[in-house]
Chain A
């Protein structure tokens, strides 16, 4: 019997609430089917199943909140693809139990380790301070009394400010953006605490790439037209094949990933970000990546993503977009080991072969985890990326 458990949709997820079962006992499932909808800090997520078989039992009632790793359903792998034999639905009464009684220890406990001195923890508990929001100044980044006292002091200042300005927002919206905000805060604090970042930057001339794209767009129907970002994503994926140490995760040591799944930072209207994955971007054409973006970005903004899209990224891209800042230095999303940042594309004076010209330029940054790789790898990556973007037809 295959056990279907509450999946972890990112390092910052501790639990999820089952909102709805989309399959019932007796239903056949195959890899990729959506079995349930789960509410997390990042909104409603469609949960996929990765095995084939027949739903044997549903173990969790709807509207129940369970930790990551909790058994949710049993799938019988034997009973597949025998459509002539009708499955006796009556005999397969759904057994729905409260989770407390079925206390199966979660096998994936990805919670954020906060290092704090016992005294700091005590004072934080007394003052209702969330330790994950605090930067530690002690040994190996541990939070000390001084850090907590600083946070208490700051909290008082913020409270005073809030009191002086009236905030009138719909409560529900605020709730969603609050939980999302705290998920982002937890992940980014962990990154800043644990990951020794190094930063590199390269200016890349996009004239050839954009010219190639405009030519292609002339023959494409409007809804399939390419945006520069699709090209950039493809170029990053191709470059990562040549510098594999940046397409990896760090979990006590460097673990290279064979799939190149690019997490793409999507900003939400009410604040906060969400990072869906573009799977196997190196194997997709630029057109396919564009199609993928057109599908995933609206769903991300509506907080309706599939579980695999939230948890599978092996590297992240953050792109500022038209008319924004010239450059962005990313903060790595743990346990990944690199994030690539694209500033907005703008025309700049550019010298080449002793002549000055005006070119569409983009400033590209790379933040790398210095435990996992060194500046030389990062530099090699940026040079490779440049080469790819100078030969767009080969992408």
Chain B
């Protein structure tokens, strides 16, 4: 459906369009991952791409994360532009040695002679009742590593445009995509200029409080902000989008304007992205704060299987609304 310059598409379709664009634009680009070819992707993101681009560019790989991620890194060093799909972040631990010890370090260890322009996409977060081992939110593991660029696609726009922007990076990029959002439909602006992956994005402007979030927190925070607006509270919503290196200028300026901050994420609270944001706010704009920085994070348990417990293990819209009200009217 086309409305002026916007199209309404699913998050899954937005991801596919991004992959198709980078495959079309550069012959050196290829997609590799478990079941990405004949099966069409574990989440049907790459369905039809094998037929469109052929086996040379859409490559099924064995169930061996360390092996195929290593192969992708090698191909990048050798001059190719691989897009490596790890089915979910849960399995990426097996490839972590390749990512942390090879992809992230080689540019530094070679004195800048060897670049690793690999892009690694991972499904992330709670799916739909997939239980603890398939529901992790581990953005913070990768955001900890110097040498990586870590992106989080919290909106359809970013699902569509982060990958083309990432392909221009000479350094390894990790993109987190959110399994729970795949079927969600939303409008995407046709944006040939792409998005800026060095900047956080202010998704909604406001003056009373800064809600700082990423990934699945973005839409929940936007909906909460709409409800808060009906109560006369004007919330600003910041989508961090780039988790490493953090665009702190954007959220620090926002907090300096609103004087209050709430950080929202599905991931566990301890040693998380939200801890980092909170620390930087205290370090750099302490004297602008009019209330303690608050966080809404995932409950620190392995994610439960039953749907109602799964829902209550992560912050929901109503939690955000409640917390903001408490901060503004204690």
Residues of A within 8 A of B (CB): 117-122, 137-140, 142, 144-145
Contact = CB atoms under 8 A, between A and B. Distances in A.
Interface of B: 259, 286-292, 327, 330
Nearest to B288: A119
Given A122-B287, A139-B292, A144-B291, 15 more contacts: A117-B259, A117-B289, A117-B290, A118-B286, A118-B287, A118-B289, A119-B259, A119-B287, A119-B288, A120-B290, A137-B330, A138-B290, A138-B330, A139-B291, A142-B291
Contacts of A121: 287
A142 B291 CA distance: 9
A139 B288 CA distance: 16
Contacts of A122: 287
Contact of B289 (A119, A137, A140): A119
- Closest CB pairs A-B (n = 9): A119-B290, A139-B330, A117-B290, A145-B290, A118-B287, A118-B289, A122-B287, A144-B290, A118-B286
A139 B327 CA distance: 8
A117 B259 CA distance: 10
A238 to B, nearest CB: 42
A120 B327 CA distance: 15
B238 to A, nearest CB: 19
Q: Is the interface of B mostly helix, strand, loop or mixed?
A: loop
Contacts of A119: 259, 287-290
Contacts of B292: 139
A119 B290 CA distance: 5
A195 B288 CA distance: 29
A180 to B, nearest CB: 33
Nearest to A139: B330
20 contacts: A117-B259, A117-B289, A117-B291, A118-B286, A118-B287, A118-B289, A119-B287, A119-B288, A120-B290, A122-B287, A138-B291, A138-B330, A139-B292, A139-B327, A139-B330, A140-B330, A142-B291, A144-B290, A144-B291, A145-B259
A330 B271 CA distance: 48
Contacts of A120: 290
A122 to B, nearest CB: 5
Contacts of B259: 117, 119, 145
B323 to A, nearest CB: 12
Nearest to A144: B290
A122 B259 CA distance: 12
A118 B259 CA distance: 10
Contacts of B286: 118
Contacts of A139: 291-292, 327, 330
Nearest to A122: B287
Nearest to B326: A139
A138 B287 CA distance: 16
Contacts of B291: 117, 138-139, 142, 144
Nearest to B330: A139
A117 B258 CA distance: 14
A140 B326 CA distance: 11
A118 B260 CA distance: 11
A122 B287 CA distance: 7
A216 to B, nearest CB: 55
A148 B288 CA distance: 14
A335 to B, nearest CB: 25
